Structure 1
Amino acid sequence: MKLKSMATIWRLGIKELWSLWRDPVMLALIAFSFTVSVYTAATAVPETLHHVSIAIVDEDHSPLSQQITAAFYPPQFIAPAMISHREVDPGMDIGRYSFVLNIPPNFQRDLLAGRNAEIQINVDATRMSQAFTGNGNIQQIIQGEIDTFLRERNPVQAAPVDLVLRARFNPGLEKAWFGGLMEIINQITMLSIILTGAALIREREHGTIEHLLVMPVTPLQIMLSKVWSMSLVVLAAAALSLNGIVRGLLHVPIDGSLPLFFCGAALHLFAMTSMGTYLATLARNMPQFGMLMMLILLPLQMLSGGTTPRESMPAPVQDLMLAAPTTHFVELGQAILYRGAGFDVVWPSFLSLLIIGSIMFALSLRRFRSAINSMA
């Protein structure tokens, strides 16, 4: 590419940046996406238990039942309400309690005697996220207290093997570590489409696209200027969010190479900004562009492996999503940011993004040329 052509692409990109700077709505969207959205996604993960209401029907009144009752404490649970058996159904009917434990009479005596002992857990299954997560947590808490109680009473019968859990890459199983980083990856994908598509539609609505048609510029130069300028904005916002929100506010440690991650993000932006340009040539206005974007963006994010592991998806979906840039970006992002992987591990994802991005750019450029020629 000639130096003069590169200078033209540079000046057109600066024009795009000035246009974005004069658009307060887009600036507010960028700021919100990489600050409030990232923070809330990290701290408000729906599977996390926080101040869950629980009640206990203690018909045993033994040291073990009191030990189990004392095991439920904030911030995961509200202090347990001690109720009678006849208050269980009315309390759950009005939604006062999410969980109700019923400890039967003689529970401790039966347990020590080796007889079958049961505890009933009543769950309000209409509260889906709390029901699934809380049910497992409550069972673990109860079993842990029972094991501790039995070891204190009879150390000889203690289990000869202790199971030691070592969680790699996230020792404390902090869900904020996952939520914050994945939200940055999702916002990079979303804003790359929005900013590029909105820039093209804004020029069409303001009539500046006609000005470009009479200038000595080519569709390739116009597209490249939008790609580099909008990609620069997204990368800068992501870098500030990663260091300010994720590292600074949420205290999430990142052991991987940030330059390597942003190199992968640049390749991903190359593909997604091309997609944004293609969608903008199909839409006549911003509402149409928004509808098209939602139809494309939701499957890209939901099936990329960022929310649900790809291994749990049907095989046809896994094969189909190999053609999506989000799949490879999520894969390299998780490998670098979570596990500290180097280029020798993630190079297949880089290569896939380069190939997919080149194909999408070529298709978008062809469509953009056709749209420009129809306006000329």
Structure 2
Amino acid sequence: MWGKLGRIFRLGVKELYSLRADPVMLILVIYTFTIAVYTVSTGAKLEVENASVAVVDEDGSMLSERLRDALIPPFFKEPTLIEANEIDAAMNAGRFVFVLEIPPKFEENAIAGRKPSLQLDIDATAMSQAGNGASYIQSIILKEVAVALPSNVTAQPIHLIISTRFNPNLQSTWFTAVMQVINNITMLSVILTGAALIREREHGTIEHLLVMPLTPAEIMMSKIWANGLVIVAAAVFSLVIVVERLLSVPIAGSLGLFIFCAVLYQFSVTSLGILIATASGSMAQFGLISMPILIVMNLLSGSTTPMDSQPLWLQYAMTISPSTHFVALSQAILYRGAGFNVVWLEAAALFLLGTAFFIIALIRFRSTVATAR
């Protein structure tokens, strides 16, 4: 019995030495239980925090200024003053989650007890903030009016008219369905492309490719376009048949523009999948490495919680993730009907990130080919 325990102990020590000799796995363990936990915990928030607000103040009174000043951190960013004719363009571009419109003579009518109306426009693509934020703002406005005009307090001193854009009934299905398609594009693009490369290595077919007149770049590009074509076709089918037909979720923008941007996104994330595969020794190791990366890419891309709710340093850090740019342009196209003039910057970021990932992956893949030879 003691001999068996001794052998088990020595085998365990051998595994510890093997783990110490595998820097990829060590980094993965450290990353999973430090950076991944911290970033997701601090970035994936469902409560209202740092929501962007604009105010159209056509009254210019002390009461309207008081309402603006009441929208303070940490729930809201400092309100931005805009003109009434800027509302549509600002909301279509996704600059603000909330726009509060204060009409002329608001204070005068409130003092006279005429119950003036305010309008609150909400961008419902930020589902986790839209409902709660509207309740916060309504409570803040009623409280501030009651404090400012204590002698004129009635059951409801003002009317707050809420106008919800891009998802008027705040149906979670509208948001979840599209975001699920986007998240699945990310997950499958990384896994299919990376797994295809590892499968070649494990089955020994990489040697067959090496004796052919093929360059590493050609091998990589073949895997990128083949797997990317399958995923883009499946995503378009899901949007048209499942999302638009079965779930009755309207697609506001151009499907052709979305496909073009999805192809750019495929180029970047499939290159990332190959890069992860070149750092993996086996299919199991590839799965362990890609899992935490995919979790962070999906949770902190803006598809689960708005980017505004994340710490500023994390927002900057997530700009190196192609999923952040793809979620932003997909929401703009599919929800708000944005054209290329609105999303071109995000599309350019996808192309640049894809090029960077492809070059790094190509360098590592060449070294793998040289080792195999």
Whether these two folds match at TM > 0.5 is yes
> Which residue does the alignment assign to 1:183?
180
Q: Render the CA deviation track for 1:217-264: whole Å, top value 9, x for unaligned.
A: 110110010010010000000011111110111100111111111111
User: Which amino acid in structure 1 is aligned with residue 175 of structure 2?
Assistant: F
Which whole-Å CA distance do the structure 2 matches of 1:161 and 1:198 have between them?
60
Residue of structure 1 aligned with 2:263, choices 263, 266, 280: 266
- 1:351 equivalent to 2:314? Answer no
Give runs of aligned pairs for residues 60-99 of structure 1, distance below 5 A. Answer: none
* CA–CA separation in structure 1 for the residues paired with 2:248 and 2:239: 10
Following TM superposition, the consecutive aligned residue runs of length 4 or more in structure 1 with deviations greater than 6 angstroms are: none
Q: Quick one: which of 266, 285, 304 aligns to 1:307? A: 304
The match for 1:318 is 315
> Is 1:168–2:147 an aligned residue pair?
no
Distance 2:289 2:232 in 1: 24
**CA deviation vs aligned residue, 1:96-115 (integer Å, no higher than 9, x gap):** xxxxxxxxxxxxxxxxxxxx
Q: In the aligned structure 2, how far is the partner of 1:196 from the partner of 1:295? A: 17
Q: What is the root-mean-square deviation of aligned Cα atoms in Å?
A: 2.5
Rounded Cα–Cα distance in structure 2 between residues aligned with 1:169 and 1:279: 37
- The range that moved more, 161-170 or 322-331, is 161-170
Q: Whole-Å Cα distance in 1 between the matches of residues 164 and 354 of structure 2?
A: 35
Aligned residues: 230
Match 1:223 to one of 212, 220, 224: 220
Highest CA radius of gyration, 1 or 2? 1
Q: How big is the shift at 1:162?
A: 2.7
Residue of structure 1 in register with 2:97 after alignment: none
SS at match of 1:163: strand
Hey, what's the Cα distance between the residues in 1 that align with 2:179 and 2:222? 28
What is the CA–CA distance in structure 2 between the aligned matches of 1:159 and 1:356, rounded to whole Å? Answer: 53
Q: How does 1:186-205 map to 2 (within 5 A)?
A: 186-205=183-202
Match of 2:286? 289
CA deviation vs aligned residue, 1:320-344 (integer Å, no higher than 9, x gap): 1111111100100111111110000
Q: Does the residue aligned with 1:307 lie in a helix, a strand or coil?
A: coil
What amino acid is the match of 1:360?
F
**Given the two structures, how large is their TM-score scaled by the length of structure 2?**
0.59
Deviation at residue 300 of structure 1 after TM alignment: 1.1
Amino acid at match of 1:327: T
Please list every run of 5 or more consecutive structure 2 residues that lacks an aligned counterpart in the other structure: 1-45, 47-127, 140-153
Q: Which amino acid aligns with 1:223?
A: M
Query: CA separation in 2, counterparts of 1:331 and 1:325?
Result: 10
Distance 1:216 1:352 in 2: 33
What are the ranges of 5 or more consecutive residues in structure 1 without an aligned counterpart? Answer: 1-46, 48-128, 141-156
- Among 223, 229, 232, the residue aligned to 1:235: 232
Distance 2:253 2:331 in 1: 10
Is structure 2 residue 246 aligned with structure 1 residue 245? no
The code of the aligned residue for 2:359 comes to: A
- Cα displacement (A) at 1:196: 0.3
CA distance in structure 1 between the aligned counterparts of 2:318 and 2:215, rounded to whole angstroms: 33
Provide the identity percentage: 53
- Give the alignment's TM-score, normalised by structure 1: 0.58
1:37-71 Cα offsets, whole Å, 9 max, x none, are: xxxxxxxxxx9xxxxxxxxxxxxxxxxxxxxxxxx
Q: Which amino acid aligns with 1:280?
A: A
Query: Residue type matched to 1:335 in 2?
Result: A
Alpha-carbon separation, structure 2, partners of 1:215 and 1:286? 25
